[in-house]
Structures are given as C-alpha cells and as structure tokens.
A and B are shown apart, each in its own frame.
Chain A
Amino acid sequence: MSWIKPADVGFATRQLLADWGHGARLLLRLVRLFGAAFKRFGLVRDQIFFLGNYSLAIISVSGLFVGFVLGLQGYYTLQRYGSSEAVGLLVALSLARELGPVITALLFAGRAGTSLTAEIGLMKAGEQLSAMEMMAVDPVQRILAPRFWGGVIAMPLLAAVFSAVGILGGYVVAVLLIGIDSGAFWSQMQGGVDVWSDVGNGVIKSFVFGIAVTFIALLQGYEAQPTPEGVSRATTRTVVVSSLSVLGLDFVLTVMMFSI
C-alpha cells in the first residue's frame, strides 16, 4: 500500500460518522427508555444483581489491596517529610477523587462489560433479537435498556464500596501495621477531604464511567458480527474501547472538576 487514495479516506470517514451516529442514537434511545425500564423493575433488578452483586467480591478485594499499597507507599514518601500522619489523607483523597472511580470502572469493564457484550452478541448470532422483533417485542427496550440502567445504577455503588474498603485497607496498614496514631489518621483525613468537592465529584465520575462502560459494552454486542469470531472480537473491543474511554473521560472530568 504505497498510496493513500482519497476515496478510501472518504469512505473511512463516512463509515466512522455513520458508526458514531448509530451509537449516539442508541444511547439517546436508552436514556429515553428510563421510564419504560423502571416500569418493569424486575428486569433492571435482575441486571443489578448480575452486574452488581457478582462484581462485589472482585471490587472489594481489589479495593482492599489498593488501600494496603497506598498506605505503604504513601507512608514511605510522607515519613521523609516527617508527616506520616497525613497518610490517611493521602489514601482517602486518592481513592475518593481518582482511583476509586477509575479502577472500579476498569474492573467493571472487564468483569461485567465483557459478559454483557458476549450475551448480546450471542443473542444476535442466534437470531434471538430478530425473533423478538418478529414478535413485535422491541429488543432495545426488553434487552438493552434494563442492562443499561442496571449497570448505571450498580457502577457508582461499586465505586463507593471500592473507596470505602480501600480506606479501611489503608487504616489496617497505617494504624495496625505501621503504628500511626489512629486519631491523627482520621483527623488528618477529615481535615482535608471535602464532602462535595472530593466525595461528591468522585460519585459523579463513577456515574459517568458507569454510563460509558455499560453503553460501550451494549453497543459492541448489538453491532457485533453475528458469528463466533465476531462476538469474540466485539468482546475484546469492549475492554479496549471502554478502558481507553474511561481514562480519557477521567482526564476531561478531572480538568473540569478540580483545576478551576
């Protein structure tokens, strides 16, 4: 391929725009199906159970270990400046503002997003979605919307669990292992963490990531080639695209929330 043909560039651009348009219209429909999804809350509930409860173990174990490591590494740096009590503040701020939402979203993409993509891709490959359409059942409303809202509800809760467990992990390392004073640990944290600007913005972040990850997983499944190979490709793409967009969105959100 020595020459880039203008026709190829044009075709690629047109295809990209068409894909984005498809995606945006699907997202708009899912958001507008909020009411319809909650009229049959049983469907959403089952999805929260599947996406949330089953992710609880991996999220809390990861949170615990991230808290451990933050406590150890934070202590290592802070004790050089004689302010090792601030390790509580360091752990809480980094978890609530950054690591809680981001790592939870990455784990959520791997744990829940892939299963959503594979499920919907296989439904499409088995022509179940077409069959539903034949029976005048809207697959977007019956299949996609409950999954979307289930994921969007589950994700902020998981991120909060991650941060809380991480802080407890930091407490275990800093207070029980290293021997920092427990009162100083908590009071430094309480002095430096703000409810709205730190904890609240973290919750908003995790909500946005929940929308992004769940939507990307559903879109990849819905647009997958209806073959075994296509489903496997779609699943891989879910992880890659949602991880990258979580990290990109995180940068944008951080700039908007904290730098002003």
Chain B
Amino acid sequence: MQRSRNDVWVGLFVMVGLVAILFLALKSANLLSLSFQSDYRVTAKFDNIGGLKPKAAVKSAGVVIGRVESIAFDDKSFQAKVTLALESRYAFPKDSSLKVLTSGLLGEQYVGIEAGADEKMLAAGDSLSSTQSAVVLENLIGQFLFNKAAEGGSAPAGNSATPVGKKK
C-alpha cells in the first residue's frame, strides 16, 4: 500500500480521538485510582445504613481512605452487613468505630471511620463491632414531636398541629 500525505493527518485525528477517550476515562471517571491501588477488606454490621450505596467513600478526618465494596442483609441478626475496602497504606486500630454520615444537608452518604486506641491494627477479613447507624430523618422528627408532646403534657391534642418552626 502506498503512503500518502493524509497519513499524518489521519494519524493525528485518530490519536486526538483516543486521547479524548482516555481523558474521559481517566480524568472524569478516575479509572486509575480505582483499579491500581491495593486494598484490604473489613466488614461491619449496622442497624441501619440509611441511603448508603456501594462505592460510597470511606473517610477518616475527611480524607477518603477507601470505598464501600458491597452491602448485604444479614438475616441472622437482621442487620446490614457492609464490606469496606480500605487502602493498604492506611492502617487503623482494631477498635476503630464507624458511622454513617451525610456530606452536606442533602449530600451523598459516606462511612466515617474514627481511630480507636488499640495497639493491634485491622487486618483483612476483620470485622468492626462499634458502629453507629445513619440518622433517619423521619425517626428524628418523630422523636422531636414526641418530646414536644411530652413537654406540653396536658396541652390539648389540637396544639400538636402547630408548625414546628414556630417557637412559643
């Protein structure tokens, strides 16, 4: 096959297109950091995980140190069994505690990990026992109303319909 002047330009065009696909994959979807880091898995059981999803971040002191790998339901203890993949370069004490937190008022939910004081570090396959459930807004509001009602005591039932925001 004879070569032609167009070869250069077609080659450049194809390269620009491939670079664009690479850019989309690496820069916008962050393929690199997902697949090339070694990590170790630990499990934890939560009473309620709220809206936590697989691939949500695991943060310590606000820094992402892992991802939620999978979420399953344990029908022995009726709890949510969450598997976390933590980056190998970070070690945490065995008695670290987990919380399901929300970033911002309406943001994504993530798992916060707070380091404990144990000498021994977490290893792959360990399970964390001290966990704190997600805050469920309905429960919170229900509790608030319940407290209000208890405070009011003998107030007539019609009063409970007053707007929550209004202070007496």
- Chain A contact residues, CB within 8 Å of chain B: 40-42, 45-46, 48-49, 52-53, 56, 81-83, 92, 96, 153-154, 156-158, 160-161, 163-165, 167, 186, 189-191, 193-195, 198-199, 202-203
Contacts and interface: CB of A to CB of B under 8 A. Distances in A.
B24 A199 contact: yes
Contact of A190 (B4, B13, B21, B30): B30
Contact of A48 (B13, B21, B27, B29): B13
Interface in B1-47: 1-2, 4, 6-7, 9-10, 12-14, 16-21, 23-25, 27-31, 33-34
A25 to B, nearest CB: 30
18 contacts: A48-B14, A52-B13, A52-B14, A82-B105, A92-B28, A157-B20, A160-B17, A160-B21, A164-B23, A164-B24, A165-B20, A167-B23, A167-B24, A167-B28, A191-B108, A195-B34, A199-B24, A199-B25
B28 A193 contact: yes
Q: Chain B interface secondary structure, helix, strand, loop or mixed?
A: helix
B28 A199 contact: yes
Contact of B9 (A40, A53, A157): A53
B13 A49 contact: yes
Contacts of A191: 30, 57, 108
B28 A56 contact: no
B2 to A, nearest CB: 7
A207 B118 CA distance: 55
B18 A198 contact: no
Contacts of A46: 4, 6
A161 B12 CA distance: 13
A42 B16 contact: no
Contacts of B19: 164
B106 interface: yes
Going nearest first, the 8 A-B pairs with the smallest beta carbon separation are A157-B17, A190-B30, A164-B20, A160-B20, A195-B29, A193-B29, A49-B6, A160-B21
Most chain-A CB neighbours within 10 Å: which of B4, B23, B104? B23
B72 to A, nearest CB: 21
Contacts of A160: 17-18, 20-21, 24
B153 interface: no
A96 B13 contact: no
Q: Chain A interface secondary structure, helix, strand, loop or mixed?
A: helix
B8 to A, nearest CB: 10
B156 interface: no
Given A164-B23, A193-B29, A83 B6 contact: no
A45 B18 contact: no
B107 interface: yes
Contacts of A82: 104-105
Interface string B99-116: 000001111100000000
A202 B25 CA distance: 11
B20 A161 contact: yes
A194 B16 CA distance: 22
Nearest to A63: B20
Nearest to A186: B27
Contacts of B29: 190, 193-195, 198-199
Contacts of A83: 104, 106-107
Contact of B10 (A48, A92, A199, A203): A48
B10 A53 contact: yes
Nearest to B108: A191
A157 B13 CA distance: 8
A53 to B, nearest CB: 5
B10 A52 contact: yes
A186 B23 CA distance: 12
Nearest to A49: B6
